[in-house]
Structure 1
Amino acid sequence: MRPGQAVRWAQGRLAELGSPSPAAEARILVAHCVGREPRELPMADDLTSKQVAELELLVGRRGEGIPVQHLTGEAFFRTVRLAVGPGVFIPRPETEVMVGWALEQLRCVPEPVVVELCAGSGAISKAIAAELPSAKQHAVELDERAHDWCARNLAGTDVTLVHADMADALHHLDGHVDLVIANPPYIPLEAWESVAADVRDHDPALALWSGDDGLDATRVVADVAARLLQPGGWVCSEHAEVQAESAPQVFVEQGSFGQVRDERDLASRPRFVTARRR
């Protein structure tokens, strides 16, 4: 079977099984089966009978609700590849836009000091390390299983990873950080029913839920950023689309920030708040 035929078959089957992104998921699964990256599929050889059987198995498991990234054991984020699996939040493309914004703020800063809070898989820190090697980076993750995945992904980088509660972490950097970046949990507890089953069943709860309004962790991010940042330093923090007003208000009410704005993702949806330390 040619790779293109395999993708078309997988896409049709995934659509029947209710996949939210059958085209993209089909390309990922076929690429995994042939040992290529999705962009390399046009150069791939025909699938062997063994590879076709593996593809059929993976498509079936996806139909059972297993995330594609758990099936392949990896996720792609900007320019980097990450190991992922049970116990760690799967990085989303929407977060890539926030990282791009952060990199733009850091381009003119020599050897910037960067802190990632709620690091999860380490996707943000690894991407920044790959695209801005001059940055001196620190990442904080509380959950033990996620920390293990993060350590695996950040191995070979110069990022200093800390296993700790962000509220009490990195006091030795207080007032010396140029940028704090976070993708904290932000789903309200009452929104459980509206969250896709493959998300709530497979992403760790600590990375999803955050109090009645979804902003408990964001308030901690604001407080920690106020402590860590030097005057003029930036913070950016992801949020849900419905928090376009409430998330920025957290940073306004914290009292240490100016230039509080909300930014949009590639689909023009409100996605992350930015603010500058006074």
Structure 2
Amino acid sequence: MTPTPAELVAVAARLRAAGCVWAEDEAALLAGEAPDQATLDVLVGRRVAGEPLEQVVGWAAFAGLRVAVAPGVFVPRARTQALVRRAVRLAAGVPHPTVVDLCCGTGAVGLAVARAHPGTRLWATDIDPAAVACARANLDGLGTALQGDLDAPLPAGLRGRVDVLAANAPYVPTTEIAHMPPEARDHEPLVALDGGADGVDLHRRVAAAAPGWLAPGGHLLIETSTAQADATAAACEAHGLRTRVEHDDDVDGTVVVARRSGGSRS
């Protein structure tokens, strides 16, 4: 619909009163997604109630793509573009790379890599059935999304053949979840947020599993925080992977890059 300036001002005022920092921008976006006033009222009501904007409109802008986001599914973060950028660079060195996206959520990471490199053989997994359904819609024709715990659902034929294994596993310490913004803690699944006592529980499990899946010279990439990067890196090194920490100032994203020995890739 095309609201009048006065109607947009009224919507923005409701959003600002609810704590939305970018109220005017959100008002324009919600109005653009609504075919009529009744629908706009519903969308604004959902946003005012604290639902993430991306879940309300049904999509997120991520790495130059429009990624579908279903209600209750983890919303792709801008900082995760650091993980994508590194994965895209590494995949560029392999013809028709085999890529795995663990804890895929919407499938945004794998989708971005596959879009950058046509011919990518892509597998994505998540334990949350709602996320897997969302990822399947996003990856239609580009990859396979499977439901299960971390690497458990991956086909055995991928062992020793994965060129890039990217993981945006949860890394919020359990006691810190209560301090997260309400739109995250109340509207995203706990399983996508809770990283255990120190936030590195899932990273340790990923690091333990990764060497069995990686091809010689293949890379494991784990998104983490600056505070947890050393612990995440140590988990990778404990399983024989050559490891370094990279930080992308542009999106404030931190990635642990771990390489299996063999091959010639860097």
Whether the TM-score (by the shorter chain) exceeds 0.5 is yes
Q: Does 1:122 align with 2:107?
A: yes
Which residue of the partner structure matches residue 218 of structure 1? 203
Shift of the 10–132 alpha-carbon distance from structure 1 to 2, 3 Å rule, reads farther
Q: Which residue among 146, 150, 169 is the counterpart of 1:166? A: 150
* Deviation (angstroms), 1:181: 0.5
The correspondence of residues 99-248 of structure 1 with structure 2, limited to 5 A, is 99-157=84-142, 159-168=143-152, 169-248=154-233
| Alignment size in residue pairs | 259
What's the CA shift for 1:142? 1.9
Tell me which amino acid in the other structure corresponds to 2:66.
R
Match of 1:263 among 237, 247, 262: 247
Letter in 1 for 2:51: I
Deviations 1:137-162 (A, max 9, x none): 111222222222222222232x1222
Q: 1:16 to 1:166 in 2, by over 3 A?
A: same
Q: Which residue of 1 aligns with 2:69?
A: 84
**Partner of residue 41, structure 1:** none
Question: Contact 1:248/1:262 (CA < 8 Å) preserved in 2?
Answer: no
Matched, 1:75 2:60: yes
SS of corresponding position for 1:127: helix
Cα offset, 1:26, TM superposition: 3.4
**Equivalent of 1:275 in 251, 258, 263:** 258
Q: Do 2:236 and 2:243's aligned partners in 1 also have CA atoms closer than 8 Å?
A: no
Q: CA deviation at 1:231?
A: 2.1
**Cα-to-partner distance string for 1:99-153 (whole Å, 9 max, x where unaligned):** 1121111212111111111111111122222221121111122222222222222
> How far apart in 2 are the matches of 1:272 and 1:192?
21
Q: How far apart, CA to CA, are the structure 2 residues paired with 1:246 and 1:22?
A: 38
Question: Match of 1:40?
Answer: none
Cα distance between partner residues in 2 of 1:108 and 1:3: 51
With the length of structure 2 as denominator, give the TM-score of the two structures: 0.86
- Aligned-residue offset at 1:191: 0.6
Structure with higher helix content:
1
Give deviations 1:161-201, integer Å, cap 9, x for gaps: 22222243333212111110011111111112211111011
Please report the RMSD computed on the Cα atoms of aligned residues, expressed in angstroms: 2.4
SS of 1:242's equivalent?
coil
Deviations 1:202-230 (A, max 9, x none): 10111110211111111121122221112
Give the secondary structure class of the aligned counterpart of 1:166: coil
Q: Which runs of 5+ in 2 are unaligned?
A: 262-266
Tell me the equivalent position of 2:264: none
**Is the 1:73–1:84 Cα contact (8 Å) retained in structure 2?**
yes
Partner Cα distance (2:138, 2:120) in 1: 17
| Percent of paired sites with the same residue | 34
Structure 1: which 5+ residue stretches go unaligned? 35-49
CA contact (8 A) 1:32 1:72 kept: yes
Q: Which amino acid aligns with 2:239?
A: G
Whether 1:58 and 2:43 are equivalent positions in the alignment is yes
